[in-house]
Structure 1
Amino acid sequence: MSTWLTSALQREHWAIGDQTWSRNPATGVFELADYKGWGAPPQACDPLDLAPLVGARVSVDGADRAGKSVALYPGPFKFSPVTGKALPAPSAAHRGTWLPPFGGDSATEDSPQGLRLTAAPLALRSTLSIESLPDRQLAAPPAGHYQFLVSACQTCDARLLAMEFSRGRIYHWLPHSERWLELRPAGAQALGRSSLGQEAWGMALHDPQGASRIFMPTDDGLAIVSINLIAGTFQSHVVGTRCLGAPILWQDKVYVPMLQDDGKLGVHGLDPAGTALFRVEGPGLDAAPAAWVRPLADRRQIVWMSAAGQLLVKAGDGDRLETSLLPWPPGVVPSFELGSPYLSRSGHLWQQCALQEGGTEGEGGQRFAFVQLGLREPEIRPASSPRLSTGAACFQRDARLRIAPWFDADISMDSEAGEVVIPLLESTSASTVLCARVASTAATDTLFASNEAHTATFELHGENDVQFWVASLPRPWATQPFVYAGHLYLYHPDKRRLPGWRIDP
């Protein structure tokens, strides 16, 4: 710790670790002057929103406050320099992370990415019912369609950030003020917009807790974003050209499909610590107009899928990577609306598809099958009906039975059930699945094409099933769950509040 005097204002400056605080000798009031070289917070910043970010201590003693609402002191101060009284300990910091849209963390480096799986322990108390009120509710961000990131962004407290990628806007939830603050560009480079759809957009982070560099796809190129929660700003640096799909971190590199100058599609990569792009070898692909959904990856390959086929990055000769486009087999149409591809016990990924010719008769005469991904001549396994999947498990369309997709010969399908159970997210640590039970007698394809409001019951399936919320929503399967500050939240763009339920430890 060091102290010096600024003569012009006669204010003392205290260097404490990676922070600098100023002190008014006349009043004894301390103010944060700098945090990690990021500057001071704006004057309008509420001190109770700021304190957890920097680990500051808060005093409400009148002698400390000097006419202010509260007094802040550096975290190492155990006693008030004004009164000598013991100061309260800094508030307990939240350290959880959430990478949109499904949590974004894996148990091991070899675990597949891109499935509807999270390591967050989704567990709710068994006493909840549909009559129970949410434990917390947050105001929704301004009108739009959002994805949510939870990260400390190199501060002391994990915060909730809302990304409106179609407009290039980022909002920070202020937990004490209970409002959203739009982050401002720190320089001339604003964040570009992305025309990717909700099922296509995603981001990549090398360090979810620190989130020092966030890789976001835009129509201008790949934006490398750094967020300053203290100043309420962000910096954006763009590399490359228009992103045609979401980036993914794979084998310590970030990869993203881009539109090249010749109108072809190419996959480009970069080191997360740098800005220099390199092109993955492979022919230019006439697939630029295709709508690529969010990528999947396992230890062997990256897969972006669209109706046009599978865009692959995988090892070629030696350590060299290659790009290729695999068309779907004749008569096969991928059914992305049914959830994630299925991860078999052997570690292979299978995409659920509709069959236009051949196959097994299913619901309403439509035929379904699972197609193994990443192979030019894939294995195809028929299914008697559609399976709504999180990735590690599939659900029968009108039952709560979790089954392997091709182990269904003796399963009785109840066509009169009048409801569809749609899995939204599966917890690998708690062995639970968050589902929306939607009242409907329509065929699956008709239901997912509908924009009418449906009554949905949200429930957590596990050792003890818990039904905890009922809402009437258009496209309730588009509800996005996320975990923040020990609560499970549900976001839907038509709701002006984000209900949350305490996660049971």
Structure 2
Amino acid sequence: MAYKWDTAASNWLEDNNGQFALTGSDGLGRIDWQGPALARVRDVAGLLGASLPGACHCASIYPEGFAYCPACGNPLQQPDAAAPHADWWGAAADPFLPRQLPHGLPVTRLPLGDSLERRPAAPSVGRAELSMAPPPNAHCVFAAATFGFAQQRLLALAPKRGVLQYFDPAAQQWHVLVAEEPASGLDFSASGYAWLPALHPSRGEVAIVPTAHGLRRLFFNPIAETWRTEMLFDATLASAPGALRRHIGVLFVGRDGVTRLWSVEADFTQARDYPCAGAPASGWTAPFSYDGHLYWLHRDGQLIWQPGQAPQYLPWPAPWQPRLELGGPTQSRDGRLWQLGHDGQAYTFLELGTVTPEQEALDGARLGFASLLFRRGHAVVDEPWSDARVDDPHEDDSLVLPLLRALNDHRSQPSGLVLRLHQYTGRAEDALATRVIARTTVEWIGRRNVILDDIARLARPQECTALVYDGALWLHHPDWNRIRGWRLEDAS
């Protein structure tokens, strides 16, 4: 005789042999227990908070809350009660930054330096002590969160191919999830990618994501290895969405071919749209917010929107052209935002967000964003256009590319993760495009500078992606066979 067991969030069936099968769970619908989940019981147990056998082998898994095997009385393995890890939605998607900083740039509030700076300082060269297989579709964005489950899990979404991938930590293996409805799609390549995370998710809820056919809410079922979406805004999107307090905005192409901005409250009420005359229909960077405005940048101009008002598209003043590949906006000491570019004669910083922008001349390119700036191998520690601080003249022959800034209340200057391209004296644009760099070091710049790893023959260094998952800092590049990792003690 079979028995049914109902827990707070799941439904189980016990057969005549004492084996338990999951038949349903909140937010996941009906479960095919004879499918892939049967081979992933340790992963499923961690997701649901279910129990696993201890000394006995009476069953492979037990419902949530079971402390002893009902057949033999032996104690069961309980779910991991370790402290929860901080969520990670990409370096540019930390919603808890202070408002005086731009939101949407590669800046995190996680105290990474508190752990990384305990390692031996430069010139000692460290090595990554962790590694993880890269996702099958390696050109992707990452998210690490609980998604409403009992334990944190890692997702990788490949926007150009529309593929969602799930990492099974017990088997150390990636799974490509399939759409519940074949007509659904997650592909988006019109502009730079960004998603809006679900901060208080229902079980399986991931984020609001842009797709080629509109703005959707994404859900996944890690047990059935499937995903589904709910349509929020059906249109041809021109950009990724951005959020500012309780407002969401996204650019789309109207039926008349004109680029427009669609805005809505966070609860998806009070939808409005505005024309954006002259604005391009693709090619935008991922948006960022600052000082009550949302910004989208393009090689032809900038689009600025303040909730409640019409957006403003401002072409760049000729002959100035932005160098978006070298970094994002940065702040001056008076709080204004600036973007690096070239006026045909020299590099300059151009003021953002104004019809009559000022320009500041430079003696060379500055790589970075959000005040984490470098001129060649030297940090720029005052205004963005100030002379670099030369601590070691030998670093004139290197080029530093910032990847991630971390807030540090104990240091007046920005801290962060960077790549140092050694023995490179060419143009920065060439280093990020076609050159293969013979030697690159992964470094943490902070109160103590730490060399985390040494990399040989690195191409396209700007494609390196930093992520924080399972109490470790990871670095991924689409060309690598393994994702490198460094343990963090206090990344919470």
Please give the TM-score of this superposition, normalised by the length of structure 2.
0.88
Distance in 2 (CA, whole Å) between partners of 1:432 and 1:215 is: 30
Q: How far does the alpha carbon of each residue in 1:40-93 deviate from its partner, in whole angstroms, 9 at most, with x for none?
A: 26432211111111111211323533xxxxx32233222332233333331146
In the superposition, relative to structure 1, how do residues 40 and 402 fare at CA in structure 2: closer, same or farther (>3 Å)? farther
Alignment match, 2:78: 89
Alignment match, 1:370: 349
Alignment match, 1:436: 419
* 1:4-43 equivalent positions in 2, closer than 5 A: 10-24=1-15, 26-38=16-28, 39-40=30-31, 42-43=33-34
> Aligned pair 1:461/2:445, yes or no?
yes
* 1:8-157 equivalent positions in 2, closer than 5 A: 10-24=1-15, 26-38=16-28, 39-40=30-31, 42-43=33-34, 44-45=36-37, 46-65=40-59, 71-92=60-81, 94-108=84-98, 111-123=101-113, 124=116, 125-127=118-120, 132-157=126-151
* 1:477-488 equivalent positions in 2, closer than 5 A: 477-488=462-473
Q: Which amino acid aligns with 1:114?
A: G
Q: Secondary structure at the match of 1:62?
A: coil
Aligned-residue sequence identity (percent) comes to 26
Deviates more, 1:325-334 or 1:260-269: 325-334
Distance in 2 (CA, whole Å) between partners of 1:101 and 1:36 is: 31
In the superposition, relative to structure 1, how do residues 404 and 466 fare at CA in structure 2: closer, same or farther (>3 Å)? same
- Picking from 219, 226, 251, the partner of 2:219 is 226
Deviates more, 1:432-441 or 1:83-92: 83-92
- Picking from 172, 183, 187, the partner of 2:181 is 187
Alignment match, 2:193: 201
Distance in 2 (CA, whole Å) between partners of 1:409 and 1:49 is: 50
Q: Secondary structure at the match of 1:446?
A: helix
Alignment match, 1:177: 171
The CA deviation at 1:135 is: 2.3
The CA deviation at 1:414 is: 5.7
Q: How far does the alpha carbon of each residue in 1:192-243 deviate from its partner, in whole angstroms, 9 at most, with x for none?
A: 421235xx11111241765725222222222321222232211123432221
Distance in 2 (CA, whole Å) between partners of 1:42 and 1:82 is: 21
Distance in 2 (CA, whole Å) between partners of 1:206 and 1:436 is: 31
> Aligned pair 1:349/2:337, yes or no?
yes
Q: How far does the alpha carbon of each residue in 1:397-436 deviate from its partner, in whole angstroms, 9 at most, with x for none?
A: 2224544313328879969822101111011157631010
The CA deviation at 1:174 is: 0.6
Alignment match, 2:363: 384
Alignment match, 2:321: 333
In the superposition, relative to structure 1, how do residues 55 and 290 fare at CA in structure 2: closer, same or farther (>3 Å)? closer
Distance in 2 (CA, whole Å) between partners of 1:138 and 1:116 is: 22
> Aligned pair 1:278/2:263, yes or no?
no
Distance in 1 (CA, whole Å) between partners of 2:218 and 2:405 is: 29
Distance in 2 (CA, whole Å) between partners of 1:159 and 1:222 is: 24
The CA deviation at 1:379 is: 2.7
Distance in 1 (CA, whole Å) between partners of 2:212 and 2:51 is: 43
Q: Secondary structure at the match of 1:280?
A: strand
* 1:297-308 equivalent positions in 2, closer than 5 A: 297-308=289-300
Q: How far does the alpha carbon of each residue in 1:306-330 deviate from its partner, in whole angstroms, 9 at most, with x for none?
A: 1111111115xxxx32111011223
Deviates more, 1:462-471 or 1:346-355: 346-355
Report the number of matched residues. 473
Distance in 2 (CA, whole Å) between partners of 1:485 and 1:416 is: 34
Would you say the 8 A contact 2:331–2:338 is kept in 1? yes
In the superposition, relative to structure 1, how do residues 412 and 502 fare at CA in structure 2: closer, same or farther (>3 Å)? closer
Deviates more, 1:340-349 or 1:53-62: 340-349
Q: Secondary structure at the match of 1:417?
A: helix
Alignment match, 1:295: 287
The CA deviation at 1:369 is: 2.2
> Aligned pair 1:489/2:474, yes or no?
yes
Would you say the 8 A contact 2:69–2:75 is kept in 1? yes
- Runs of at least 5 residues in structure 1 that lack an aligned partner in the other structure: 1-9, 66-70, 357-365
Q: Which amino acid aligns with 2:315?
A: P
> Aligned pair 1:235/2:228, yes or no?
yes
Would you say the 8 A contact 1:225–1:234 is kept in 2? yes
Distance in 1 (CA, whole Å) between partners of 2:391 and 2:453 is: 28
In the superposition, relative to structure 1, how do residues 464 and 103 fare at CA in structure 2: closer, same or farther (>3 Å)? farther
Distance in 1 (CA, whole Å) between partners of 2:334 and 2:223 is: 47
Distance in 2 (CA, whole Å) between partners of 1:189 and 1:101 is: 31
Q: Which amino acid aligns with 1:419?
A: S
Alignment match, 1:3: none
> Aligned pair 1:246/2:237, yes or no?
no
Deviates more, 1:209-218 or 1:325-334: 209-218
Deviates more, 1:410-419 or 1:137-146: 410-419
Q: How far does the alpha carbon of each residue in 1:155-202 deviate from its partner, in whole angstroms, 9 at most, with x for none?
A: 1111111111101110000111111111111224322421235xx111
Q: Which amino acid aligns with 2:184?
A: A
Distance in 2 (CA, whole Å) between partners of 1:150 and 1:41 is: 26
Would you say the 8 A contact 1:222–1:240 is kept in 2? yes
- Picking from 429, 442, 466, the partner of 1:445 is 429
Deviates more, 1:172-181 or 1:221-230: 221-230
Q: How far does the alpha carbon of each residue in 1:326-356 deviate from its partner, in whole angstroms, 9 at most, with x for none?
A: 1122332111122121023443322122223
Q: CA RMSD in A?
A: 2.7
Q: Secondary structure at the match of 2:350?
A: strand
Distance in 2 (CA, whole Å) between partners of 1:468 and 1:232 is: 35
Q: Secondary structure at the match of 1:48?
A: helix
In the superposition, relative to structure 1, how do residues 433 and 416 fare at CA in structure 2: closer, same or farther (>3 Å)? closer
Q: How far does the alpha carbon of each residue in 1:23-52 deviate from its partner, in whole angstroms, 9 at most, with x for none?
A: 22x332223222214132643221111111
Would you say the 8 A contact 1:19–1:34 is kept in 2? yes
Would you say the 8 A contact 1:154–1:212 is kept in 2? yes
In the superposition, relative to structure 1, how do residues 415 and 246 fare at CA in structure 2: closer, same or farther (>3 Å)? farther
Q: Which amino acid aligns with 2:108?
A: T
Would you say the 8 A contact 2:7–2:64 is kept in 1? no
Distance in 1 (CA, whole Å) between partners of 2:213 and 2:286 is: 19
